[in-house]
Amino acid sequence: MKVALAQLNFIVGDFAGNTQKIIDAINRAKANGSSLVVFSELAVCGYPPLDLLEHKYFIDSAIEGINAIARSCTNIAAIFGAPVVNPDANGKNLYNAAIFCAEGGVQKIVHKALLPTYDVFDEYRHFEPSKEFGIIEYKGYRIAVAICEDLWFEQPLHEGFGKEKLYSVNPMDELARLRPDVVVNIAASPFAYNHDNIKREILANTARKYQLPIIYLNQVGGQTEIIFDGGSRIVNSKGAITKRLAFFNEDFETVDLNEVLQSEINETLFPVPDRIEKIHNAIVLGIKDYFLKLNFKSAILGLSGGIDSAVTLVLAVRALGAENVRVLLLPSKYSSEHSVVDAVKLAENLGVRYDNISIQTIFDRFESSLSGVFSGRNSDVTEENIQARIRGVLLMAVSNKFGNILLNTSNKSEAAVGYGTLYGDMAGGISVLGDVYKTDVYRLAQFINTENEIIPQNTILKPPSAELRPDQKDSDSLPGYDLLDEILFNYIELRKSVSEIIGLGFPPEIVTKVIRLVNINEYKRYQSPPVLRVSSKAFGPGRRMPLVAKYI
């Protein structure tokens, strides 16, 4: 039996577009002689639909899409995801479902059993978990359909606080008792730079444990802060990958099920990109889809001559094209001449439009206007923040006048410890590097310069500085980024306590200071733009901390 894998990029709520994209793929699979075509989780409505699931029109539109897709399934079958109504008077209104269509109609509906409510997921808010399990019989095959988390009964253990098993029922145990020939897993599994290794382990272990081949079909594309990396694959009963689709791009493959499932493919044929390359590709896709799906055309950012804005600019140009990106150089008397020169050189290297607007005259007027109120007080962080806010106002003015969406350039290290100015350099429609630690920003710069020098070497080598006061350096206020990022990773990603981190050998006074800064700056992060998620624990919906609390 020939099976087509349709790894597609859907838009939440675009029922007409999503439905047509699915039907087009069905027709393509039919033309290739396929008997079955597989799509991702909640493909009809897009993932994650969040509280749109509470609107009746949204569910009615999903049902219309299901019926239209079903009518196209003649001489071929399809498996795709969609929300469906729970007819029972008890429980949640909806099920997260896999729809099996053939012979011009819906033949079977399979409901998701394991509903994740951790990290960015909140599926139990809307969906009822399934307690029934069944098999689809088609073309002589017994097909077990599992939806994303249904294959993740055993979670990968991490060094932090957590359980290996989050659920009381293992769907694969139930399905295995029905003696299927193959498992089809439709998924919307978000990207994290370490996630593919975990996914690979989950799929391989499941295949080997039950001696069942797995067809895994994942969504691809950016959805605000969440990025789906694709990487759909077929795994044989020995746990080896025998076919894999592209990362970070739509892809379509037709395979002979018998040949692929029984083959002994060397997995070196399917190399996984380097961690930094994956982060680079994920962010480019995240920017591209944020603009495309919101119908935005162009971007703007402040180019300071520093590493963060430089890397952000390159990623934006690669996502949107140089013609759709412009930058403002906004120097003050504290800006080094080299910073301006580096910024101009980068803009010219990339072919983007740049305007140089000094903020010094505006800043002088602020100081003059506030001189009476501030009489008798020394300059401090207030004057630094005024400069950042002037820049924010100018960037937003150009944004409003020309319709450019402002990209935020702050990194995760700065966001963690509050090293940023509300309504100034924290402004923006989307945070490009907000889930990338400073040490990885440098690695991204080196990756960008692999073949030739795009980012000026001086930008990479010079000590990082906000350049808001004479001879300022980040190290005046923060520990070195190598040390800072290790402490932050242990606290944020691994959820270790202060005492546990100190126990690892980090200096107690520095650990205590850093963790205090993380905790007291939660209010700033509440007012930050959405952050493109590339790690296992990003700021935003995946890390929900109280604003008002007494932290240990």
195 backbone dihedrals φ, ψ, rounded to 5°: -75, -35
Structure tokens at 25: 């793929």
Structure tokens at 268: 């070196």
CA count, 13 A, side-chain hemisphere, 366: 16
Which residue among 45, 73, 101, 148 is the active-site one?
Answer: 148
67: left (phi over 0), alpha (psi -120 to 50) or beta: alpha
Strand boundaries in 113-246, DSSP class E:
136-138, 141-147, 182-187, 214-218, 220-223, 226-229, 233-235, 241-244
Is 401 an annotated catalytic residue? no
Structure tokens at 33: 């002689």
- 371 membership: H or E segment, kind and range: none
Q: Where are the alpha helices (DSSP H) in 419-465?
A: 438-448, 457-461
Residue 545 CB partners (closer than 8 Å, separation 6+): 522
Q: In what order do the strands lie in the sheet with 325-329?
A: 353-356, 325-329, 298-302, 404-408, 430-431
Which residue among 21, 30, 112, 496 is the active-site one?
Answer: 112
Residue 201 CB partners (closer than 8 Å, separation 6+): 156
Which residue among 2, 30, 41, 128 is the active-site one?
Answer: 41
Is 148 an annotated catalytic residue? yes
Nearest C-alpha neighbor of 541 from the set 289, 283, 225? 225
Structure tokens at 237: 């009963």
Residues labelled catalytic: 41, 112, 148
